[in-house]
Amino acid sequence: MKVDGKQMRPIWFDKDTETVQVIDQRFLPHQLIIRELTHVDEVIEAIQEMVVRGAPLIGATGALGVYVILVQEGNQGMDDAWFSRQCDRLKNARPTAANLCWGVNRVQAKVLEQTSHDPRVQAALNEALAIIEEEADNCKKIGVHGRVLIQEIAGRNPGKPVNILTHCNAGWLACIEYGTATAPIYTAHDAGIPIHVWVDETRPLNQGARLTAWELGKHGIAHTVITDNAGGHLMQHGRVDLVIVGTDRTTRAGDVANKIGTYLKALAARDNDIPFYVALPGSTFDWDITDGIRDIPIENRDPDEIRYVQGWHNDEITQVRITPEDSPAANHAFDVTPARLVTGFITEKGVCDASESAITALYADRFKTDV
Amino acid sequence: MKVDGKQMRPIWFDKDTETVQVIDQRFLPHQLIIRELTHVDEVIEAIQEMVVRGAPLIGATGALGVYVILVQEGNQGMDDAWFSRQCDRLKNARPTAANLCWGVNRVQAKVLEQTSHDPRVQAALNEALAIIEEEADNCKKIGVHGRVLIQEIAGRNPGKPVNILTHCNAGWLACIEYGTATAPIYTAHDAGIPIHVWVDETRPLNQGARLTAWELGKHGIAHTVITDNAGGHLMQHGRVDLVIVGTDRTTRAGDVANKIGTYLKALAARDNDIPFYVALPGSTFDWDITDGIRDIPIENRDPDEIRYVQGWHNDEITQVRITPEDSPAANHAFDVTPARLVTGFITEKGVCDASESAITALYADRFKTDV
């Protein structure tokens, strides 16, 4: 999408320097800093430290990470066992994201079809770039399908903006283009439907206040930042027409792992009869599990992400401590919203109910080829 | 309660200087700063800027504020109309807190029973101090009644700490002694029952992370700070036994206005069959209204409380901006939890169900005298 008139993506392969480049999202919205990833350790660090974040982007970064493993300095003596170990390290960088394993596995398989170094490098790059274009295309399609839902609401309330609440950042920064949760928003806005977005700030790392607000502002979409506490109150008072969130991993039965706090918004949406949709590409479904609360591992991150808040002060990024010095904190990064609270999924293949039968029917062709 | 071994209250009348003194809670947990309130404008500012906050403490501050009106410099030419106008200004300092009107009205009535200045001053001081001692006593009784609930849970899980989640700060800093939501916690802890408290940070002003964590730490109670997003996940995984929150205003039918986000926790507690209690003194009931969502005015505060976060950096209080410079924010300070989601009320008179019949039965004597 556009940033100050210039087309940008959160990750790209620079053909001139033959390097992988990413936006360092930790500095947004205050500074736009680009980083080069030239070693698998840098790729892992970028994923773990959330230089890059968001399910599809993590998948894309993992995919290009396999290319980085093949071309990084010091890998001259590599054998298949070493290569496999590096791929495993990459896959374990963040435990909740289904796309990471998926992206790495897909490129790794293409690499292992080749037996010598240069074809392997080329295979890795080709497959990673193919994944990236597929993700971009998926998001575009999610936008087209999701726009219909927004159009319906707009049709019922002529002249009034459609109020959409979203949690965290499932925008283009988390994907490649359009985003997942934001794809219907961008697509509807670009089609002239009046939109206003309630942006949950999304503690602890404030991806909503920092990234979603930045994205929407750069695209000229009306939005208001709210605390994570506020959504229920707004829904009670008829100020939310629709909730759309992304997901890091969704079971085949429709249980949705997403940024911590998503479950609370789903409960409030249900209590106030407001549709609650989850936007995702097929790559985010985990076809091996059904019970998300039992089976999706939830990442525990550094408690200092709770104890400290990062922001802009005196023209630089500054961290302030909000808790007493000796108070401990716990940082569960995700929660699971049970399928019973989800109105439906917006995917690249269309919209479906949150049930195993509806999901597997929508991806029937996938089952024929992949499973 | 105790702070570094010294008994403290958040507000007191200093007999030597004949002044009202308060802890400036905006600087906690980083600095313990005491302010003197010698003019009604300072009292109003202290309430609006949240130097003091919390329903019972706001009531106590309003009550002593009437005394301040009578003794402040420049009031020599005061007449009853001027006095009444100043009391009205005080009552309007924060719209959601039922206790503020209640405290001011009660002292104002006592003042108007006297016809000359000095007896009015004395009447105001006596009545305000009486309110303060009653609030302290009420909180103590809330603790005694609430302890029984905690004891029951502890009895079912011998040797395991009782995990209690609380939102915002309804501790002694918000009251005079013990607090409301924290009174059962302090009382149970002091009785040797093992307790662990999940402390919601409570954005935007982080009263949980700043004040509740500070209070509990100073008293030696095990606690963990979490984001406002995390409670649902912890409840899903059996890590919360009981929720206790305070309230700024509760209708006679049991609808609970409390810090924004309380409603979301109540929904999660209900979804996971976890008891959700609200602790309050009788003064926080608004006997005139039943439908809280319709009838309780919700204060909209400065959006910059969302856009900026305050904390400790380089040995001073520092504010960092977390949003893009041009993104708007909305700051609804409270929400209303419908009575249907409340397991019960813990009051100075005992525990009762969240229904109009149960509440009015508990306060039957009050109706005989007050209404």
pLDDT at position A152, please? 98
DSSP state letter for B23:
E
pLDDT at position A369, please? 53
Task: Tell me the nearest-neighbour CA distance from A140 into chain B, angstroms.
Answer: 25
3-class secondary structure for B94-109? CCCCHHHHHHHHHHHH
A321: Cα separation from own chain's centroid: 27
> What is the sign of the dihedral through the CA atoms of A330, A333, A338 and A342?
positive
**Range A109-120 average pLDDT:** 95
B313–A310 CB contact, under 8 Å: no
Is the CB of residue A296 less than 8 Å from the CB of residue A264? Answer: no
Measured distance CA(B244)–CA(B216) in Å, rounded: 15
Task: Tell me the nearest-neighbour CA distance from B29 into chain A, angstroms.
Answer: 5
Q: Residue B199 — φ and ψ, nearest 5°?
A: -105, 105
The enclosing H or E element of B55 equals: helix B55-71
Full set of structural domains in chain B with CATH: 2-134 (1.20.120.420), 143-367 (3.40.50.10470)
Looking at beta carbons, which residues of chain A come within 8 Å of B335?
229-230, 232-233, 236
Measured distance CA(A138)–CA(A349) in Å, rounded: 8
A322–B201 CB contact, under 8 Å: yes
Instruction: Report residue A76's pLDDT band, with 50, 70 and 90 as the boundaries.
Output: low
In B, minimum Cα distance to A270 occurs at B267
| Largest interatomic CA distance in chain A | 66
**Range A49-69 average pLDDT:** 94
Give the residue from A251, A243, A254, A337 showing the smallest Cα distance to B267.
A337
pLDDT at position B371, please? 44
- Catalytic: A190? no
Q: Please determine, for residue A368, whether its predicted confidence score (pLDDT) is greater than 80.
A: no
Q: Please determine, for residue A366, whether its predicted confidence score (pLDDT) is greater than 80.
A: no
Task: Tell me the nearest-neighbour CA distance from B212 into chain A, angstroms.
Answer: 10
- The total number of residues shown for chain A amounts to 371
For an interface test with A, the pick among B215, B320, B332 (most A C-beta atoms closer than 10 Å) comes out as: B320
- Which of B306, B309, B324 lies nearest to residue A214, judging by beta carbons? B324
Q: Residue A344 — φ and ψ, nearest 5°?
A: -175, 175
B312–A320 CB contact, under 8 Å: yes
- Which of B228, B230, B311 lies nearest to residue A322, judging by beta carbons? B311
A321–B329 CB contact, under 8 Å: no
Order the strands of the A285-286 sheet from edge to edge: A285-286, A249-251, A256-259, A334-337
For an interface test with A, the pick among B233, B296, B337 (most A C-beta atoms closer than 10 Å) comes out as: B233
Average pLDDT over all residues of chain A:
95
Measured distance CA(A20)–CA(B58) in Å, rounded: 57
Whole-angstrom CA distances from B358 to A17, B148, B243, B273, B300 are: 74, 19, 20, 21, 32
pLDDT at position A169, please? 96
Catalytic (active-site) positions of B: 248
B229–A326 CB contact, under 8 Å: no
Order the strands of the B195-200 sheet from edge to edge: B222-226, B195-200, B162-166, B242-245, B276-279, B344-347, B350-352
- Which of B234, B271, B332 lies nearest to residue A230, judging by beta carbons? B332
Burial A127-144 (b: 16+ CB within 10 A, else e): bbbebbebbbebbbbbbb
Give the residue from B117, B115, B121 showing the smallest Cα distance to B68.
B121
Give me the catalytic one of A200, A228, A241, A248: A248
Of the two residues A307 and A1, the one the predictor is more confident about is: A307
pLDDT at position A74, please? 75
In A, minimum Cα distance to B229 occurs at A261
DSSP-derived pairing of the beta strands A19-23 and A34-37: antiparallel
Q: Please determine, for residue A77, whether its predicted confidence score (pLDDT) is greater than 70.
A: no
Express as a percent the part of chain A with pLDDT over 70: 98
pLDDT at position A3, please? 86
Q: What is the mean pLDDT of each run of 10 residues along chain B (371 residues)?
A: 87 96 96 96 96 92 97 79 95 86 96 94 98 95 98 95 98 95 98 98 97 96 98 98 96 97 98 98 91 93 97 97 98 97 98 98 79 44
Burial A267-296 (b: 16+ CB within 10 A, else e): bbbbbeebbbbbbbbbbbbbbebeebbeeb
Measured distance CA(A294)–CA(A296) in Å, rounded: 6
- Which of B217, B265, B309 lies nearest to residue A320, judging by beta carbons? B309
Residue A249, beta-bridge partner list: A257
pLDDT at position B254, please? 98
Task: Tell me the nearest-neighbour CA distance from A310 into chain B, angstroms.
Answer: 7
